[in-house]
Structure 1
């Protein structure tokens, strides 16, 4: 397995994002400090990160002062760059690192994550991890049967819609007269999403039907498109045969992209660059009827201080397609750094975190634990309006890649899916190029 491209990417990204950031404050390789132990945790600044920090703050008291946990919460881009830089430096900075689920293969390939199979694999809390999420949050990118991570934040895409508009009798009557069927609330098929988007589209009054994350930043269009792709019977690749050719450029994939592209006709201005913030803001400002966004980004949409429609939105499982029903899985697992001198202490912290009191502290501070007794409870559903919908996605969630060449695959996907949806390239041409580039990446890696 090759690591050269990963380290080149690490160095370039670290220079671009961090500038003068240095790993130099790392505490001397694997030498342990004397006295009480301090576990250092890395995540990023958002509601689940704050929930982790608040929960972790109770660990010092729980251990009688023997071990405390400090949580660092940089911005999203800095979080990613810091993690990648620590891999390149191969030095001790953090003990527990929360990573995006897709980065796991990169971490394992770089020998930067501890094998948790014996440390955590048989702990009782593992049985609480939803079975549809477990292969992705604890899945083995090397196919060796080992465990390299434990889920922290469970996340999935949700359909967010203006319930006040959907339940308005005049809209219901007009919609049925135009389309011949009842206005579904929530939208239940991708075909109905297009009809509803068209119905509510009113650019003269600066109101639009639908917004999605169509932009190039990070992974946004890839993960938003893939649930449409799967629901149309397509796929990015076949993991068993390591094949992209004939999958992402198949007739079903072309049909899925042509449909996905058609939704942009009803999007607000600026949609070609839309990412997390643009989608959340479009809904919060009350200028769209529907949006697809991650559950963990949704709290601001129902926050009275941040949203004009905080009491007018509802959440649901994204709709089914003509051939299947799948939902894009997000979320972040915890890894223990291979450079940490405190592997046992870090594993003990994770086990403590999954005890009932702590897992509820995390949930009540707007985290979404991958823990069935929490996700399935009315108590959890009452914390945030989207929590019941997140639970309802469990039968449908699915992920794409967590293999070491994730970055190369993602970069091609982001570029070419955006080219297809914006019309910069014809759909078939863009998907053929994507298939060829990803096949070359897979062939190079698995040869």
Structure 2
């Protein structure tokens, strides 16, 4: 075969391959329960849209963040739809890395909770559609508290949490007083630790952008956190994040848990949880202030500008974040299992209110989070459990490792914070936030 014929054959093969894959949408998402369910139910979408084939890349949270960040920054074009959050959406939208969301009237964009729209927008433009939204709150075993003669109200003090944990901690019976995130990651342990630090009067940066990780308030936070989990947490807490603790709680091994409100739909589900009828909910604990006690987040779907299938990607996102999708989940799996925290109509739905014992507590937490006023002392940056600057992800990833090491007893709290401060100062100076 001559060279011209080989080249012609190669071109024809390449064109055929492109044509065969023209309707493929590659979706990168996190391995959380609601996302896994979306993948299952997406067969409905494919049936309604026979020209579109969905390809799924389902990853653990930390790995997902790394993969999508690398792909978006390098314009790699691996994905047509990315699962991102309130940290990435406004920054990436402003840079032109992701597409602005476009919806028709039937989508009812005004039904979306304002907190979710604001957190996923930049300059009034929405850059990611919320698939589910969350804050954080306290979830606990009411049977254990009743037996111990103790109570919990909204926004208890962290001191009271310690007292309760001490009384209900019973490792011989496989019950630990409290379970909290310890796994290293800016969206793992640092999400929880930052809300604790907020209420202890700490902050990542002062009004001039200078790191404050070696402050007395941060030392108080970390001393308390390590002491609490060392005394009353499960073994191996430094390796636990959302999914690990969810499994522990559902097995009846956690007396209390402060984490994402979305967990409530799983721990109150009899099909998943052995203690579904024994759980209760309260607003997050506070220290010297109530500011920043509970976070605000949304796992949302966005379209990278490198996608060659923007129209089809927008069509899928419109379907997956619609009122109709929520109804599909409710009708298929039960209304207690629908993705929450995104639409007003969900909380107005009688079927949902009957099935979701956590609904009021979840909505209250979401509405109370204030990303622009989450620290006791003023700061120029926005965010509750994160800071919306490009450098934060790298800083907090490093800090998360230090905090996890302190929890594991590998280094002291003082050493962890000193190293964290050095990392943060070096990064912020290099980025010229200050001299």
Q: TM-score, normalised by structure 1?
A: 0.75
1:382 and 1:71 map into 2 onto residues whose CA distance is: 35
1:251 to 201, 216, 222: 216
What SS does the corresponding residue of 2:276 show, helix, strand or coil? coil
Residue of structure 2 in register with 1:21 after alignment: none
Runs of 4+ in 1 over 6 A off after TM superposition: 121-124
1:201 to 158, 169, 172: 169
Residue of structure 2 in register with 1:314 after alignment: 280
Deviations 1:339-375 (A, max 9, x none): 2223244334434555432343356453225122224
1:59 and 1:38 map into 2 onto residues whose CA distance is: 13
What SS does the corresponding residue of 1:333 show, helix, strand or coil? strand
Residue of structure 2 in register with 1:436 after alignment: 422
1:133 matches 2:105: no
1:396 matches 2:361: no
What SS does the corresponding residue of 1:211 show, helix, strand or coil? coil
1:210 and 1:320 map into 2 onto residues whose CA distance is: 16
Deviations 1:105-157 (A, max 9, x none): 7856986422x17x469997443333333343x144xxx66543222221232
1:90 to 59, 66, 75: 75
Query: Matched residue pairs, number?
Result: 398
Residue of structure 1 in register with 2:59 after alignment: 75
Q: Given that residues 362 and 369 in structure 1 are in contact (C-alpha distance below 8 angstroms), is that contact kept between their aligned partners in structure 2?
A: no
Change (3 A) 1:263 1:309: same
2:242 and 2:362 map into 1 onto residues whose CA distance is: 18
Residue of structure 2 in register with 1:268 after alignment: 234
Change (3 A) 1:105 1:442: farther
Q: Given that residues 104 and 403 in structure 1 are in contact (C-alpha distance below 8 angstroms), is that contact kept between their aligned partners in structure 2?
A: no
Residue of structure 2 in register with 1:337 after alignment: 304
What SS does the corresponding residue of 1:160 show, helix, strand or coil? strand
Q: Which runs of structure 2 are paired with 1:181-330 in the superposition (5 Å)?
A: 183-184=151-152, 188-216=156-184, 219-238=187-206, 241=208, 243-246=209-212, 248-264=213-229, 265-325=231-291, 326-330=293-297
2:154 and 2:142 map into 1 onto residues whose CA distance is: 8
Q: Given that residues 177 and 233 in structure 2 are in contact (C-alpha distance below 8 angstroms), is that contact kept between their aligned partners in structure 1?
A: yes
Structure 2 unaligned residues grouped into runs of 5+: 1-12, 370-383
2:272 and 2:326 map into 1 onto residues whose CA distance is: 27
1:80 and 1:184 map into 2 onto residues whose CA distance is: 35
Q: Which runs of structure 2 are paired with 1:118-157 in the superposition (5 Å)?
A: 119=102, 125-136=108-119, 138-140=120-122, 147-157=126-136
Q: Given that residues 209 and 289 in structure 1 are in contact (C-alpha distance below 8 angstroms), is that contact kept between their aligned partners in structure 2?
A: yes
Change (3 A) 1:405 1:108: farther
Change (3 A) 1:235 1:28: farther
Change (3 A) 1:371 1:245: same
1:211 and 1:225 map into 2 onto residues whose CA distance is: 13
Structure 1 unaligned residues grouped into runs of 5+: 1-26, 176-182
Q: Given that residues 201 and 207 in structure 1 are in contact (C-alpha distance below 8 angstroms), is that contact kept between their aligned partners in structure 2?
A: yes
Deviations 1:408-439 (A, max 9, x none): 11222212222444554443443243233123
The two structures, once aligned, show a CA RMSD in angstroms of 3.7
Q: Given that residues 113 and 341 in structure 2 are in contact (C-alpha distance below 8 angstroms), is that contact kept between their aligned partners in structure 1?
A: no
What SS does the corresponding residue of 1:260 show, helix, strand or coil? helix
Change (3 A) 1:38 1:369: farther
1:295 and 1:47 map into 2 onto residues whose CA distance is: 13
Comparing 77-86 with 407-416, which one deviates more in the overlay? Answer: 77-86
Q: TM-score, normalised by structure 2?
A: 0.77
